[in-house]
Amino acid sequence: MNFINRTTKLLAFALALLCVANIFSGSILAINEDLDNPQDNLISQNEQKTDLLSENTDNWPKVRAEAYVLLDLDSGSIIMGKDYDVQRAPASTTKVMTLMLAMENLNMDDVVTITPEIAEEIKKIPGDYVKLGLQEGEQIPVRDLVYAGSLKSANDACLALAMHIAGTEAAFCDMMNKKATEIGCLNTHFSSSFGYANPDNLTTAYDLCMILGAACRDTEFSKVSTTYSYTIPATNKYSDSRKLTNANRFIKQPEFSYDYYIGGKTGFTSNAGYTLVGAAKKNDRTLVACVLKAQDSGIRYVDLKNMFEYGFSNTTTVSISQSEFDPSIAQTHTQITDLLAETNLYIDTQQHACSEYLTIPSSRASLGSTNLIELSKITIDTSLPEQTLKIPLCKSYSDGKTYIVGALTMNITAKAPHIEVDPEKETGWTGLRKVLITVAGISVLLLIVVVALLMLRRSIIKKKRRERYLAKSKKL
């Protein structure tokens, strides 16, 4: 029995030692411990939206509106701005959303009939609001209403489109708000299809730029809003044609014209003041600007033009291709594969994605950039059977500014269990594991031998007892 107890204790000790070895075999691997210049001041992709606002603002043109913003449509970066996320009344710039939804949901050649319900709602529009003069029973094409809403800022035209699409203006406003959310507007709530001075018909300078950008990109809004004049033919209720001249001074008056202007919308109410949102395109780059609650009708055009000129002259939008990181990614893959060679882990899958554009000061862009993969803070825990690494892809400029423009995602997975015979790798923990496994195997064999001996001993005892019994029986 002492032999059995000693064998059992030896086996327990060997198994415990094996467990301890497995626990401590995990470690943290630093992918790049020798990196000379880790990037501690990386500009994240989210921070890039407002990073330009921290640059030197002394060169900003003076803007006299209470709220304003200039942004690059492709990158989404805000180039300059003030109170651009503060909700304000937009007045007729509301119509950008209405006209965009009309062009998305209707055929321009469709005919709208002014129903009694539409006519009744048109009567509620204040008398000093601009109207086309739509009559009950009038039949008029969508195209004519869209041009009237854009060029003349006809409130009845936008209301007719809204009710034709959704049945009621309230239902159409629900569509407007849903679309605003889809575009990325976080501070917008429409309660009017044409910009009536409802206290809860509110948006921001930034959101209006996002809405105009979507309208110019996805519909014919740019073409419509830059048309100088448009004639609506006679209808069944209106015997004469109606000629519309664009009220936007960028189009209407040479002294306010801007060669790169591609569309926009004006607005005014006593509560909202003078509002204007516009877009400009130069060298395949689109900027969008907005002013809210300007105090003068003419100065808002000057402010927008000055902002556009500042943006085009002082900032540059860099196009980023995913393929330009391919060489660095291949090198990183090799580096991590080599690092994992002495472990039970391997790179299972990998993929990478980048922003399409980056907007930076022109002076920085002229320095040129270096593409790099930021590895200084990436580690691998070898005790985990599976983990995901998100490795920043960066553009670094010689003035010290480094932008994260994407990410390399790697899935690290443990290999399936297998026996590998490779004497050259029998060092360190690898060799110790094999020794421990051998000890555990011998212990198991010893246990089997002990069990077999016990069974044999029991069998011998039974046999001797049977022989003694038979011997006594014979004597009797």
- Please answer whether residues 414 and 385 qualify as being in contact, where contact means their C-beta atoms are separated by less than 8 angstroms: yes
Q: Which of 283, 301, 300, 284 is nearest to 292 (CA)?
A: 300
Helical axes 169-183 vs 95-105, angle rounded to 10°: 90
The CATH code of the domain at 61-316 is: 3.40.710.10
- What's the pLDDT score for residue 40? 60
* Pairing verdict, β 42-43 and 402-414: parallel
Collapsed DSSP state (helix, strand, coil) of residue 196: coil
- What's the pLDDT score for residue 456? 74
Please tell me the distance from the alpha carbon of residue 7 to that of residue 10, in angstroms, as a whole number. Answer: 5
* Pairing verdict, β 345-354 and 273-282: unpaired
The CATH code of the domain at 31-49+321-414 is: 3.10.129
- What's the pLDDT score for residue 472? 62
Please tell me the distance from the alpha carbon of residue 414 to that of residue 340, in angstroms, as a whole number. Answer: 10
Identify the residue whose tokens are 């949901």. 105
- Please answer whether residues 347 and 410 qualify as being in contact, where contact means their C-beta atoms are separated by less than 8 angstroms: yes
With left for phi above 0 and alpha for psi between -120 and 50, is residue 157 left, alpha or beta? alpha
With left for phi above 0 and alpha for psi between -120 and 50, is residue 184 left, alpha or beta? left
Buried b (16+ CB within 10 A) or exposed e, 146-174: bbbbbbbbbbbbbbbbbbbbbeebeebbe
Please tell me the distance from the alpha carbon of residue 85 to that of residue 195, in angstroms, as a whole number. Answer: 19
CA 152 to chain centre: 37
- What's the pLDDT score for residue 17? 40
Please tell me the distance from the alpha carbon of residue 96 to that of residue 224, in angstroms, as a whole number. Answer: 11
Alpha-carbon separation of residue 89 from 194, 208, 303, 387 (angstroms): 12, 11, 19, 49
Contacts of 207 (CB under 8 A, 6+ apart): 180, 185, 186, 187, 188
Instruction: Tell me the residue type at 212.
Output: L
Q: Which of 349, 348, 344 is nearest to 384 (CA)?
A: 344
- What's the pLDDT score for residue 454? 76
Task: Show me where the domains of the chain are located.
Answer: 31-49+321-414, 61-316, 426-475
- What's the pLDDT score for residue 109? 97
CA 247 to chain centre: 37
pLDDT in tens, 303-314: 999 999 999 999
Please tell me the distance from the alpha carbon of residue 415 to that of residue 343, in angstroms, as a whole number. Answer: 9
- What's the pLDDT score for residue 28? 79
Q: For residue 396, what is the enclosing H or E element? A: strand 386-397
In this structure, the dihedral spanned by the alpha carbons of residues 320, 326, 327 and 332, taken in order and rounded to 10 degrees, is 110
- What's the pLDDT score for residue 458? 78
- Please answer whether residues 53 and 361 qualify as being in contact, where contact means their C-beta atoms are separated by less than 8 angstroms: no
Collapsed DSSP state (helix, strand, coil) of residue 357: strand
Provide the total of helices (H) and of strands (E) in the chain, helices listed first.
13, 18
- Please answer whether residues 402 and 395 qualify as being in contact, where contact means their C-beta atoms are separated by less than 8 angstroms: yes
Tokens of 119: 């006519």
Q: For residue 460, what is the enclosing H or E element? A: helix 428-475
Residue 453's CB is within 10 A of a number of other CB atoms, namely 12
With left for phi above 0 and alpha for psi between -120 and 50, is residue 332 left, alpha or beta? alpha
- Please answer whether residues 203 and 231 qualify as being in contact, where contact means their C-beta atoms are separated by less than 8 angstroms: no
Task: Tell me the pTM.
Answer: 0.80
In the predicted model, residues of the chain with pLDDT beneath 70 are: 1-26, 32-40, 418-435, 438-439, 441, 449, 452, 466-476
